[in-house]
Amino acid sequence: MKNNKKFLRQCIDCRKIKRKEDLIRITKDNKTKEIKINKNNKIYGRSVYICKNIECLENAIKKKKFEKILSSNLPESIKEELYAVLKK
């Protein structure tokens, strides 16, 4: 089952290993340097993964994980978008 490994990613907050489809991917676009939610995996650049839950998002923001890994702040618009997605 070696092939399955490439679909596994780690949440930047709780560090749990999950399948890619169970995580949200946030990418800093190599070209524009903008931070975006990488919905279709069409953006290329440095990426982080986070669980689809509010706790991981809030903790990651508090601990400044996005800034550390992407070396940019998470834009307010992206935060809002994430909260909207996760608030279900």
Q: Which helix (H) or strand (E) holds 24?
A: strand 23-29
The 3-state secondary structure of 27-46, one letter per residue: EEECCCCCEEECCCCCCCEE
Choose which of 24, 26, 48, 51 interacts with Zn ion (CB under 5 A): 51
Q: Select 44 or 83, whichever has its Cβ closest to Zn ion.
A: 83
Q: Select 12 or 43, whichever has its Cβ closest to Zn ion.
A: 12
Under DSSP, the state recorded for 10 is E
Residue 11 near Zn ion by CB under 5 A? yes
Distance CA 34, CA 16 (A): 26
Q: Select 11 or 82, whichever has its Cβ closest to Zn ion.
A: 11
Residue 57 near Zn ion by CB under 5 A? no
**Chain contacts with Zn ion (rule: CB under 5 A):** 11, 13-14, 51, 56
